[in-house]
Amino acid sequence: MDEKNSPYSNAKKQIERAVKKLGKEKKYYNILKDPERFIEVNFPVEMDDGSTKVFKGFRSQHSKARGPSKGGIRYHPKVNPEEVKALSIWMTIKAAVIDIPYGGGKGGIIIDPSKFSESELKKITKTYIEKISELIGPDKDIPAPDINTSSREMGWGFDAYSKIKGKNMPEVITGKPLEIGGSKLRNEATGFGAFYTFKNMASDLMGLEKLEEGNIKVALQGFGNAAYPFAQKLFENDIKVVAVSDVKGGVLKEEGLDIPELKKYAEENGSVVNFSNTEKISNKELLELDVDVLVPAAIENVITKENAGKVKANYIMEIANGPTTSEADEILRDRGIKMVPDILANSGGVLVSYYEWVQNRQRFYWKKDKVNRRLRDKMNKAYSEFKDLRESKGIYGRTAADLLGIKRIINALKARGY
């Protein structure tokens, strides 16, 4: 990925454009373009065979203007400082869009977790948390899961941090297992939140009061923690998900895929590829399918200037963080494709993380219905604020969401005396 298209330069451009559009002084761009704090940690861990491997990890805290940093921990061989910084910027804007009292953070380790045993991963996670423990904390920076990490790693992280502090501190990390202070619905939160956004989008942009009236066709890239619960909700509501992919490739079925069966198949076979009665497609083909809504829900930078002109969907709803490069974004905007961006559509995850943190601090836990109601209401509110701004200014979806979030961040900076 060249520097021009790196997620970090894309994130900076987003801030620059929004600050300009808001008519704010350049100093706010200068304050927000880089993380407040960024660290690299290198740490040795003993492997099962007695050898020692040294791992490299990062943690970025972008802005604390609206509250402590909040953001996931990613395990991936391609994790790098630029990516982590960009993801922390998007977290700040996202928390502001969904209007929760957090700034943005993100972390990661350069690792292919499939190459390590569970006991090795446990040691790696606990050592990473120990190395960043001075930086994180319930009022400073609260990690959560991201690509290739889940409640398991969060449970280990909670344990490591609590041991350092000498007391149980569930509020330091979210996305934990229920047994140790996780919130009901956290696992489904991003997907369910995206579904509420999808419903709002259908009513706002397609004029559909009832989802099933539209005969909407969806192509979904990714079938992981974020994508699957979303696909499940679409399936339950009779929306046709005609294509799904994962890292190994994709499947297409014009009549719509049976999502629960596909999930079972993917669990048993390690991929959606070759699911019965489907046509095999590549990830590249999936992005260019003739569908109504394209939902990238896997990784960043998949819609680029090379394929943006070939996207046939009229609507894009981003569940992945940063799936569209800035150059591609301009092409989509000029082609009149309607964009419901990541910082709005996938904010259900950080929202229920916030609810988990609140419950941890209260040591009092909410029922699933209550979490779901609060998730739905807050997603609906954010969507309606996004819609109002987009309509009143006649602007592109991504620009509207950026303005909504960045205005709130600048207002917080102002209130703090900047």
Residue 225 in contact with ligand NAD, rule: CB under 6 A: yes
- Contacts of 89-92 with CB under 8 Å at 24 or more apart are 89/8, 89/11, 89/12, 89/14, 89/15, 89/32, 89/35, 89/62, 90/11, 90/321, 90/322, 90/342, 90/343, 91/62, 91/350, 92/32, 92/62, 92/63, 92/65, 92/66, 92/405, 92/409
C-alpha–C-alpha distance, residues 65 and 147, integer Å: 26
Q: Which stretch binds ligand NAD (CB under 6 A): 20-28, 127-135, 222-230, 255-263?
A: 222-230
Structure tokens at 251: 């499947």
C-alpha–C-alpha distance, residues 414 and 418, integer Å: 5
Beta-carbon contacts of residue 24 (< 8 Å; ≥ 6 apart): 410
Q: Which stretch binds ligand NAD (CB under 6 A): 217-225, 355-363, 373-381, 401-409?
A: 217-225
**Of residues 180-209, which lie at the interface with ligand NAD (CB under 6 A)?**
190
User: How near is the Cβ of 318 to ligand NAD at its closest, in Å?
Assistant: 9
Q: Which residue number places its CB atom closest to ligand NAD?
A: 224
In one letter, which amino acid is 124?
I
User: How near is the Cβ of 84 to ligand NAD at its closest, in Å?
Assistant: 12
Burial status of residue 13 (CB atoms within 10 A of its CB: 0-12, 13-18, 19 or more): middle
Contacts with ligand NAD by CB under 6 A: the residue count is 23
Residue 245 in contact with ligand NAD, rule: CB under 6 A: yes
106 is catalytic: yes
Beta-carbon contacts of residue 37 (< 8 Å; ≥ 6 apart): 60, 61, 135
Task: Indicate which single residue of 35, 224, 341, 397 sits in contact with ligand NAD (rule: CB under 6 A).
Answer: 224
Q: Which stretch binds ligand NAD (CB under 6 A): 40-48, 96-104, 239-247, 375-383?
A: 239-247
Structure tokens at 244: 């799904």
Enumerate the H helices of 171-298 as residue ranges. 186-205, 227-236, 259-269, 283-287
Task: Indicate which single residue of 19, 201, 227, 243 sits in contact with ligand NAD (rule: CB under 6 A).
Answer: 227
**Of 12, 70, 106, 233, catalytic:** 106
User: How near is the Cβ of 42 to ligand NAD at its closest, in Å?
Assistant: 24
Beta-carbon contacts of residue 23 (< 8 Å; ≥ 6 apart): none
Q: Which stretch binds ligand NAD (CB under 6 A): 19-27, 145-153, 308-316, 380-388?
A: 145-153
Task: Indicate which single residue of 89, 124, 299, 351 sits in contact with ligand NAD (rule: CB under 6 A).
Answer: 299
**Of residues 306-365, which lie at the interface with ligand NAD (CB under 6 A)?**
319-321, 346, 349
Structure tokens at 23: 């008519």
Task: Indicate which single residue of 6, 10, 80, 148 sits in contact with ligand NAD (rule: CB under 6 A).
Answer: 148
C-alpha–C-alpha distance, residues 256 and 200, integer Å: 22
In the DSSP assignment, the letter for residue 310 is G
Residue 146 in contact with ligand NAD, rule: CB under 6 A: yes
By beta-carbon proximity to ligand NAD, the closer residue of 94 and 253 is 94
Task: Indicate which single residue of 156, 198, 223, 265 sits in contact with ligand NAD (rule: CB under 6 A).
Answer: 223
Residues near ligand NAD, by CB under 6 A: 146-148, 190, 221-227, 245-247, 283, 297-299, 319-321, 346, 349
- What residues are annotated to the active site? 106
